[in-house]
Chains A and B, each alone.
Chain A
Amino acid sequence: MTTTTITLNGRKVQAEVPSRTSLADFIREHAGLTGTHLGCEHGICGACTIEMDGEIARSCITLAVACDGASVRTIEGFDDDPLMARLRKAFTEEHALQCGYCTPGMLIAARDLIHRGAARTLSDIRVAMSGNLCRCTGYAGIIAAVKRVLDEESAKGALNAQAGVDGAARLGPVGTHALNGAYDGIIAAGIPRKQTSSG
């Protein structure tokens, strides 16, 4: 077990976790935030998409221990975000969800896309959202909802808000920017046996 500290939606969460614990399980099991969904658990479906240190990532294929010191925002952490509020409204009005299982990942990926100013056209949106699978909607409503908010943002000249943030301090995988260079030695030594056996 190892002590892992991750700031989740602004709240510091510290837990003793085995090294094999995924960031998604850390969020769901240790912090009790169940808005982050697990679909495929091998990085294909996008349901587990979260934001970490300002960039989106797959929490199912990211080890929690590897993100020690990182700041993570899950769908619950976007309640007060104006851009996310517009996306939620557009998702509702465009029928961009049915069962809702993919929706947290869809919303976080869509918000990142608009925030980075990385799409202009419907085709751009389709390509950029291809990492998030939905088995209900046929995608038409999702693409329309993202396009609606993208057009609103473009009209306001609000795109590219994030360009050039932090420069060289952001090199390398997201989640690894805290504790650069700090040697932690062996910080996790496998999974301890359950405490049911006395031997």
Chain B
Amino acid sequence: MKPGAFEYHRPSTMAEAAAILSSDQDAKIIAGGQTLGPMLNLRLAQPPLLVDITRIPEGKAVTDTANSVTYGACISHANIEDGRVPDPTGGFLRRVARGIAYRAVRTRGTIGGSLAHADPAADWISALSVLEVEIGILGPSSSRRVPLRQFMRGALSTDLGQGEILASVSVAKPSPRARFGYAKICRKVGGFGEAIGVVRRNPDGKVQIIAGASARPPIVIEDGADFVAGRSLDQIRLSEYLVAQGLEDSPYERAIHTAVIQRALHESWQA
């Protein structure tokens, strides 16, 4: 239950971090370490080199413009929960942050770390998929931006290449009249979700739906008109659609993934 030996670097700029990361293809980035820490202790991960990016000022920077809010990768869940950073959604991001794991985990776990790890059962990948989000990626020689929905390729797999670092998360400001709902089903409070549902109701009446925490990236339904009428959800029709999109075809998976979306829809009407 103790990690294996590793080298540890703590650079002061993202560029330096990217350079160190490129020096060893098995090197890993560590930020809050709330997922990597347990994996190191269990020796599921045995990287020879860790690059700690938590002392890099730009990783904790937040930029609020007319159209978007950009979070440095090292903004913690608790920073969002406590309202220390702007929430362009009028409370939806704070509400999601408050439900991640436990307080003693949220104080160190980061939004960038959660997205880079790309666990389908984690909260941010599903919650942010209902928004227009761009991931800022820094490499050893160049930087680029990728829409979140193209960033996650599969379970624990992302668009990040060798030596690249997830540096920032930009959230486009939705209409202030958009309404959000979020729900997850866990075996135990604070555990990873077995099913996550996200609903966004736009002023024009369009309803967006995200089905998360399956074995794959979140399933995005841009226009849920086929499934939603007011506050009610056609769960049978939705489950058929989700299975066609890759959800495991079992009565249990169908039930929890549609029930959780019904709960999110309900919450969107309370918001």
B41 sits at the interface (CB 8 A) = yes
B229 sits at the interface (CB 8 A) = no
A153 sits at the interface (CB 8 A) = no
A26 vs chain B, min Cβ distance (A): 12
B244 sits at the interface (CB 8 A) = no
Report chain B residues within 8 Å CB of A96: none
Report chain B residues within 8 Å CB of A168: 62, 84
A123 vs chain B, min Cβ distance (A): 10
B56 touches A181 (CB 8 A): yes
B33 sits at the interface (CB 8 A) = yes
Report chain A residues within 8 Å CB of B57: 180-181
B104 touches A63 (CB 8 A): no
Residue in B closest to A25 when the chains form the complex, CB atoms: B2
Report chain A residues within 8 Å CB of B75: 171-172
Report chain B residues within 8 Å CB of A52: 107
The answer for the CA separation of A52 and B54 in the assembled complex, in Å, is 15
A42 touches B41 (CB 8 A): yes
Majority SS of interface residues in chain B?
Answer: loop
A63 touches B8 (CB 8 A): yes
User: When each residue 1-34 of chain B gets 1 if its CB lies under 8 Å from chain A and 0 otherwise, what string results?
Assistant: 1111111111110001000000000000011111
For B, the interface residue count at a CB cutoff of 8 angstroms equals 52
Partner of B2, one of A2, A22, A66: A22
A62 touches B37 (CB 8 A): yes
Given A171-B60, A173-B54: A56 and B104 within 8 A (CB)? yes
Report chain B residues within 8 Å CB of A170: 79, 84
Report chain B residues within 8 Å CB of A187: 8-10
Residue in B closest to A66 when the chains form the complex, CB atoms: B52
Instruction: List residues of B (47-99) whose CB comes within 8 Å of A's CBs.
Output: 50, 52, 54-57, 59-60, 62, 72, 74-76, 78-79, 84-85
A48 vs chain B, min Cβ distance (A): 9
The answer for the CA separation of A58 and B36 in the assembled complex, in Å, is 13
B190 sits at the interface (CB 8 A) = yes
Select the residue from B7, B57, B59, B85 with max chain A CB neighbours within 10 A: B7
- Of the A-B pairs whose beta carbons lie under 8 Å apart in the complex, a sample of 25, sorted by A's number, is A2-B8, A42-B42, A43-B37, A46-B102, A55-B78, A56-B104, A60-B37, A60-B41, A61-B37, A61-B41, A62-B33, A66-B10, A66-B30, A109-B104, A128-B103, A130-B188, A170-B79, A171-B74, A172-B59, A172-B75, A173-B54, A173-B76, A183-B16, A187-B9, A190-B5
Known: A56-B107, A191-B5. 7 other contacts (CB 8 A): A19-B7, A56-B103, A171-B74, A171-B75, A171-B84, A173-B33, A189-B7
B residues with a Cβ closer than 8 A to A are: 1-12, 16, 30-34, 37-38, 40-42, 50, 52, 54-57, 59-60, 62, 72, 74-76, 78-79, 84-85, 101-105, 107-110, 188-190
